[in-house]
Structures are given as structure tokens and as C-alpha cells.
Structure 1
Amino acid sequence: MLFDQIASNKRRTWILLLVFFLLLALVGYAVGYLFMRSGLGGLVIALIIGFIYALSMIFQSTEIVMSMNGAREVDEQTAPDLYHVVEDMAMVAQIPMPRVFIIEDSSLNAFATGSNPQNAAVAATSGLLAIMNREELEAVMGHEVSHIRNYDIRISTIAVALASAITMLSSMAGRMMWWGGAGRRRSDDDRDGNGLEIIMLVVSLLAIVLAPLAATLVQLAISRQREFLADASSVELTRNPQGMINALRKLDNSKPMSRPVDDASSALYINDPKKGGGFQKLFYTHPPISERIERLKHM
């Protein structure tokens, strides 16, 4: 059951990444069709931009992410309980020992970052360390170590890069349409054209307008799938589903983080640091904790 769930979540994530590439290709084709008189040329340029964005973000240093979140590095002497739990989980997962950080915040949260298991780090809030018992802390750190082992961070980084590329291309196209330019000339050329050309024009405009929103929703879906996978993988490491369930219940009752958290970092945390209701739930980076608990109960 556990391995079936892990395999299913992996398949869904790769399907979502494929949708991301298709969205990027669609926007590139639309921009090329409207402004370059070559949809294929725009498609190629868009894929190149997405590839460059992904590479640049993959190789960002861990220090930048930790600095953005106000984390300080600790070791075996300064935070022995956390350090030893991370060490145990890394040993079971058969990955190198990641660097360990603490964020001074009374909320309950944690995250992992890094481009690969050889260059990874985990962070936990001081509130989490104060509230969680040993089994619950093992479950949370098992979750974060699983993100590292499963290369979730790299996948999330690629998703952020592709979403950024789509938004950039759409924004560029919007500015070009605002100032006239090739889009207006394409409209003039197609005014007397056939119905297919008019349909292509409308579809291209819709793609440019709607693709950024679609990219955001796909990015959130990827993040949610990886959270389910990390929960299941943590249980695989600890052999203790109840520990993960108890930890999630405490996380569910936790207040939002007191320090500002940027949108890019929000998806990294085990618990959405920006809690809200109503329409905001559509843009949650994490699945509802109640749903995560239900999945664990059926493992």
C-alpha cells in the first residue's frame, strides 16, 4: 500500500511537470505567432528560457534560502536533540547528513532545501522543537529528509522556474500589446484573413492572458503531490504512521508564522506558513492536513 501510494504520487508529479512544459510551449508559440510571425520560433525560445531559468535556480546556494527565512545553522553541540534526529533519519534514508538550521519562531514548521542530497539542509522552528515529542520530531524530520531523498526540492525548483518563465513571457507580451507593435500588425494582417487565422489570434491572446494563472495552479498541485509523497516516505523511514499523524494534528493547530514568508519559500514548508480561508484556499501550497491524515490512516 505504501509503495503504491509513493509510485502514484510520483506519476502524478511527472504528469503535472509535463503540463508545465506544455503551458510554456503554448505561451511561447502564442508570443511567436503574435509578434514574430513564427509560432515555432517563439516555442523554441520559450523552452530555452525555461531551461535557463531552471538551471539558474537549481544552482542557487542553500545560504540564500536560509538567509531569506532567518535561519541560523546549528550543530551537535548547540542543538543535540534536533541534530541527532536528523542524523538518524538521514542514516535510514541512506543520504549524506544535511546541514541543520533553526528558525526562531513560535509557530510549528520545518522545511528542506538544496539541489541534491549532497548539497542539502533542513530547518525547524524553535516552536516545533518546543512542542513536538521525540516520535513526532522524527516524523517531521523524516518528512523533510524524504523531500531530499526524493529530489522533491529540485522538482519544486524546476516548477518555480517554469512558472517564472511563463509569467515573464506573458508579461512581455502584454507590454508589447500595450505599446502596439507586432501584435497590432498581426491584427491588421488578419483582419481580412480567413477564419482559422482569426481563431489562432484569439487562442493566442487567451493563452497569454490565462497561462500565468494556470501555471500557478499547476505549481501548487505539484507542491501538494510532493507533500503526500513525503508523508508516506516519512512513515517508510520511521515505521510509525501514528507519529506522523500526531505531528500533523499539532501542525494543524499551529498559528501562522510571525515573520513574513515569501511565496517561493511557502511551498518548502511542511505546513503552509500563510494560513487563511475562503478563496485563499484555492492557492494553498499544501493539501489540507485532514486529507493528509486520512491518507496516512489508510496506509
Structure 2
Amino acid sequence: MSYFRTAILLAGLTGLFMGVGYLIGGAGGATVALVLAAGMNLFAYWNSDRMVLSMHGAQEVDARSAPELVQMVAELARNAELPMPRVFIMHEDQPNAFATGRNPQNAAVAVTTGLMNHLSREELAGVVAHELAHIKHHDTLLMTITATIAGAISMLAQFGMFFRGNNNNGPGLIGSLAMMILAPMAAMLVQMAISRTREYAADDMGARICGQPMWLASALAKISNAAHQIPNPEAERNPATAHMFIINPLSGQGMDNLFATHPSTENRIAALQQLATQFGGRGGFAPAAPTSAPPGGPWGAGTRRGPWG
């Protein structure tokens, strides 16, 4: 089960953090590392949503400022048996989206203007349903915790260089250099493995929430194509949040490998095609070619903001 695998990976990430602390300061260092991890996660638990939304310049909208988008989110949230999340818009040309929040009662869904301009209403519904699936699975909190611990491991590994001369507990010069390189790399691998596991689960649940797996499959193809061509400056300035987006906003991924923040789009589409056949839907979806949507996108609006206000 994906939850069991995720729990094992998260335990491994925590163990790695404590291991780096032990190399630096022995048993005391491991204890300090554990306390530090708890403190950082407690801070992230209460403030992660505000931090991430602020990083990406997301602006909250309501039924007056973006009636169609908010209505869509509300309808899909009812399908998912979730409380209505807050809705945000990011003024970015790259089509993308993410969800955040410590629990379903304090969740938020954020989409870019590029997403609304590039996708049809059905495709947008598929993306929103995917993000609601992350909320329903409590992935939003999990992703924040993994990012926090992974970042702390990198910081602690660099801090360990100051203790290379400690004969009792310090790892020494060679050990310190190895720790600086290998510990962050190992943390990154675990973080990415967790992210990929949860993306597949969110695709499956999202397809069930909107009832049409091919809506999400079509959206993934369009977003992936656009992500290769349209930069996301805010994501480039905050790469630690890349794993939260539905498609990696930093660069496209050609294969499902250890260093990918997301599964390959082709693999995700294939899984959705298989699910569509179970639903009795059309399984022969062909990935969309890169699009050059008109200024208002398929919604027919003449401004960058589109019909959402």
C-alpha cells in the first residue's frame, strides 16, 4: 500500500536527520536533531499554508471576484466530501496548481492564470479534483513535513563541517565532506520518492472525484508541454516547493527516475487511461500538442485575468 510505503520513507527521512546529528555530536547530537526536527515541523504545521502562498504571490478570491472558479471548487469539494477550501489565483503564465494546508479544515487550492487560460473547463475540473485529492489524503501536510526535514538535513550536514576536528564524535574531514554531499542527496531521494507515491494516488482519487479520468489526463499533457516552454519565476526562486505542484514547475521530466520530483507524465496518463476503461470511458487518449492559446485562452476573455476576475 502507498500509505505504508510513505510511512517507511518518512521514517527513513527522520532517521537520516537523526543520523547526521549523531555524526556531528554523538547521542546528544541525535537528540538535538530530533528536538530541532520537532520544532521545525510544529512551525510548519501552523504556518506552511501562509508561507507557501506568500512565496508564490497567491491572491485569495471569492464568489464575487472569481465566481466560476469558486463554484467549480465548491462542487468538486462536495463530491469529495470535503469542507470548502480557500481558493487562490497566482498570476503566472505557466499553467500549474497546488494545494496546501495542515488539514482539510484549513486547506487552500491555488491555480495559475496560465492554467485557466490554457485548459478547458473540464480539464481545469480534473486539475482541481487532483488537488482536492491531495487534501483528502492529507498529503499537503506530509509534503510540507518532508520538505522541512529534507531542508534541515542539508543545513545540518553543512553545519557538521564545523565539527570535523572533534575526535570523539566528529566525522573528520573526509567524513564531513562525504556527509555534506551524501546526506542531502539521500534526503532528496526520499523526499522525491514520497512525492511520486502521493502523485499517483492523487491522480486516481482526483479522477474519481470528477468522474472523468481523461479530463485529468488531457490536462496533464497540456500542462507538461507548457511547463517545458513557459518559465515560472516564483517557482525558480523557491525550488523547495516544486514537489507541491501538479507538474514540476522547474523543468520537464523525461522519465520516471530517482531524481524526478514527479512521476513521468506518460506514466500518469497511462494509469488514467487504464482507469478510464474501468469507468467505461474512452481509453485511447493522445497527448495534446503544445498549444498557443489566444490571450483569453479557451474561455474567450480578452484579458490576462480571464473570466475568473
User: Which of the five TM-score ranges fits, normalised by the shorter chain?
Assistant: 0.7 to 0.9
Measure how far apart 1:111 and its partner are.
Answer: 0.8
Matched, 1:257 2:231: yes
TM-aligned CA distance change 1:236 to 1:107, over 3 Å: same
Pick one of 3, 6, 14 that aligns with 1:10: 3
In the other structure, the counterpart of 1:236 is 208
**Cα distance in structure 2, aligned partners of 1:75 and 1:88:** 14
Measure how far apart 1:277 and its partner are.
Answer: 6.5
Aligned length: 269
**Cα distance in structure 2, aligned partners of 1:186 and 1:242:** 56
In the other structure, the counterpart of 1:246 is 218
Measure how far apart 1:153 and its partner are.
Answer: 1.0
Letter in 1 for 2:187: A
**Cα distance in structure 1, aligned partners of 2:163 and 2:87:** 46
Letter in 2 for 1:214: A
Pick one of 105, 122, 137 that aligns with 2:92: 105
CA deviations 1:93-144 (Å, max 9, x no partner) are 2221111111122221111111111111111111211222222111100011
Pick one of 234, 241, 244 that aligns with 1:268: 244
Query: SS where residue 101 of structure 2 aligns?
Result: strand
TM-aligned CA distance change 1:271 to 1:157, over 3 Å: same
TM-aligned CA distance change 1:49 to 1:259, over 3 Å: same
Does the 8 Å contact 2:100/2:109 carry over to 1?
A: yes
CA deviations 1:63-90 (Å, max 9, x no partner) are 3322210211111122122111110111
In the other structure, the counterpart of 2:266 is 290
In the other structure, the counterpart of 2:37 is 50
TM-score by length of 2: 0.80
Return the index of the structure with the highest Cα Rg. Answer: 1
Does the 8 Å contact 1:113/1:120 carry over to 2?
A: yes
**Cα distance in structure 2, aligned partners of 1:251 and 1:276:** 10
Aligned sequence identity (%): 40
Coordinate RMSD, CA, aligned: 2.4
**Cα distance in structure 2, aligned partners of 1:155 and 1:283:** 19
Letter in 1 for 2:203: D
Letter in 1 for 2:23: A
Task: List aligned pairs for 1:61-76, cutoff 5 A.
Answer: 62-76=49-63
